[in-house]
Amino acid sequence: MTVRTRLVLAFAYILVTIIVALSVPLAINLGRRAEAEYKNQVLINVLTTAAKIGRESFANLRQLRATTDEFSRQLGGRVVVTDARGIVLADSDGTAIGTQFNSGKRPEIAAALDPRNATATSEIRHSADTDSDLLVTAAPILDEGLAGSIRLTSDVKDVADAVRRTTIGIAIIGIAGLVAGLLIAFGMAGSLAQPLQRLATTARRLGGGDLAARAGHMRGAREIEDLAGSFDDMADRLERASNAQGEFVANASHQLRTPLTGMKLRLESASDATEDPDVRHQLRAAEREVDRMAETVDRMLVTARHVEQGRPVRVDLADAAQATVERWQARAQGADSTLRATGARAAADVNPADLDQILDNLVDNALAYAPGAIEIETATDDAGPWIAVRDHGPGIPDNDQARVIERFFRGRGSPPGGSGLGLAIAREVAERWDGSLTVASADGGGTRVAAHFPAAENVRS
């Protein structure tokens, strides 16, 4: 999940929490207010209608009932008119004329016909007759005293519609606020995440060997600007250190190689010139020590060149094993050893020169410490392709197997000579291509050192 996505989700969570916390109570309060306003409006209409009815209307019941029907159409509900005793004089439904409405079942009529305090009321209650909720509104008819009452019953659908309209309005406002907030959050997250993404891209380039990669000036929060500046300072120091190391490698190669070459030439000349076999033997032993010293210098210079070089290509490990056998065959015969390649073909994406360096170090190590029959094995398993050098020597103690691939480590009982760098170099070169190096005891005795590589993908360009 990207930084931008995380920021947008966090802002959206906060925004939704705020909107819900504010809109729910607001919707409840506005819904109640809308309901109260609707009830008040109906009550006003009923009071206005009651003011239009007087005692004279009661003298002409036919006219009163026609007027009641007209009021029913205007008010949108059932209209009932009673006299001061609660007897129904007119009913827009025509079903309750002559019945008594001033009873405990209709408290609104009792309130409207209270001779001491006639009161108009409006409330929502459940009707047992219709088995539904109704808005019931009643008001007294006053004409030289209490003349009667008027009662309106209407469906609560209109009230629910009013509340629903209010709720929908709040929901639309909340959704619009959420969308606007998310757009703002996306823009703000982009302004925060873009510099970090740019910095991550630069870091990957720097880690891939592009020492000239820089983040440059970044506009944004002060912390991001400081981070970009610190990163570029670090990259500058890294580039200077790498350049200094390259110069050191070049200088060391020249300064160390030249005297060693001169020493070897002098020893060869002295060995050819002398006729004393003991002296010649000592001089040739000295030559071998110079060769070993030159080899140690080469390995130390290789470990110093840690910057990744070259590009991978598709390499058949079996072909590489056979080429190594041919390259080292003469050396193996001189060490009274045999060298052969076995196993199946296995493809790996690796730099061929680096693969040769790994194999050279492993074979050289086997010839030096376990001369005899040596096999270079190749295969592919579930983890990927691998190539291994197996000897039949005395083996390496279990406690030392994990440490022999460390720099300068030499196990107990190791013969004199050697630098302790061969396996360490092979491990570092394998890791350069996302591989690994393992050391284990071989079946039947000896040691098996294997270089494992990831499964071959398309060759990188």
Query: Can you give the pLDDT at residue 459?
Result: 39
The pLDDT tens digits of the residues spanning 226-257 come to 877 888 888 888 888 877 766 776 666 656 76
User: Does the pLDDT of residue 461 top 60, yes or no?
Assistant: no
Query: Can you give the pLDDT at residue 413?
Result: 54
Class of domain 310-452: alpha beta
User: Does the pLDDT of residue 49 top 70, yes or no?
Assistant: yes
Query: Can you give the pLDDT at residue 451?
Result: 93
Backbone angles phi, psi at 412, to 5 degrees: -65, 135
Query: Can you give the pLDDT at residue 307?
Result: 45
Q: Contact 148/83 with Cβ under 8 angstroms? A: yes
Query: Can you give the pLDDT at residue 51?
Result: 87
Of 8 and 145, the structure prediction assigns the larger pLDDT to: 145
- Top-confidence range, 262-266, 299-303, 366-370: 366-370
SS3 365: helix
Of 351 and 453, the structure prediction assigns the larger pLDDT to: 453
User: Does the pLDDT of residue 172 top 70, yes or no?
Assistant: yes
Taking CA atoms, 179 is separated from 1, 9, 174, 353, in Å, by 21, 13, 9, 57
| C-alpha closest to that of 39 among 127, 158, 210, 150 | 158
User: Does the pLDDT of residue 28 top 50, yes or no?
Assistant: yes
Q: Report the distance separating Cα 58 and Cα 87, nearest Å.
A: 12
Query: Can you give the pLDDT at residue 125?
Result: 81
The pLDDT tens digits of the residues spanning 89-145 come to 999 988 889 999 888 788 889 998 998 888 999 888 877 766 778 888 999 998 888
**Domain segments of the chain as ranges:** 233-302, 310-452
| C-alpha closest to that of 387 among 326, 324, 295 | 324
Q: Report the distance separating Cα 139 and Cα 318, nearest Å.
A: 105
Query: Can you give the pLDDT at residue 263?
Result: 83
Backbone angles phi, psi at 201, to 5 degrees: -60, -45
Of 161 and 263, the structure prediction assigns the larger pLDDT to: 263
SS3 391: strand
For the chain, how long is the longest CA-to-CA vector?
162
Taking CA atoms, 226 is separated from 29, 223, 284, 347, 386, in Å, by 49, 5, 62, 46, 45
SS3 450: strand
SS3 92: coil
DSSP for 42-91?
HHHHHHHHHHT--HHHHH-HHHHHHHHHHHHHHHTSEEEEEETT-BEEEE
pTM for this predicted structure:
0.41
Buried b (16+ CB within 10 A) or exposed e, 424-448: bbbbbbbebbebbbbbeebeeebbb
Of 386 and 224, the structure prediction assigns the larger pLDDT to: 386
Q: Report the distance separating Cα 86 and Cα 98, nearest Å.
A: 9
pLDDT average, residue stretch 259-270: 81
How are beta strands 436-441 and 78-83 bridged, if at all? unpaired
Beta bridge partners of 126: 133
Token couple for 412: 């107990």
- Looking at every residue in the chain, the average pLDDT score rounds to 80
Query: Can you give the pLDDT at residue 450?
Result: 92
Q: At what angle do helices 317-334 and 352-369 cross, to 10 degrees?
A: 40
Q: Contact 460/315 with Cβ under 8 angstroms? A: no
Element spanning 338, H or E: strand 338-343
Q: Report the distance separating Cα 405 and Cα 303, nearest Å.
A: 13
pLDDT average, residue stretch 35-58: 84
pLDDT average, residue stretch 7-28: 71
Beta bridge partners of 389: 376, 449
The pLDDT tens digits of the residues spanning 271-320 come to 888 888 888 888 887 887 777 677 666 656 665 554 445 567 889 999 99
Q: Report the distance separating Cα 249 and Cα 300, nearest Å.
A: 9
| C-alpha closest to that of 124 among 165, 158, 90 | 158
Query: Can you give the pLDDT at residue 269?
Result: 85
User: Does the pLDDT of residue 344 top 50, yes or no?
Assistant: yes
Query: Which one-letter amino acid corresponds to residue 287?
Result: E
Query: Can you give the pLDDT at residue 96?
Result: 87
DSSP for 9-25?
HHHHHHHHHHHHHHHHH
> pLDDT-derived band of residue 429, with 50, 70 and 90 as boundaries?
confident
- Top-confidence range, 46-60, 210-224, 252-266: 46-60
Q: What is the CA radius of gyration of the chain?
A: 50
> pLDDT-derived band of residue 198, with 50, 70 and 90 as boundaries?
confident
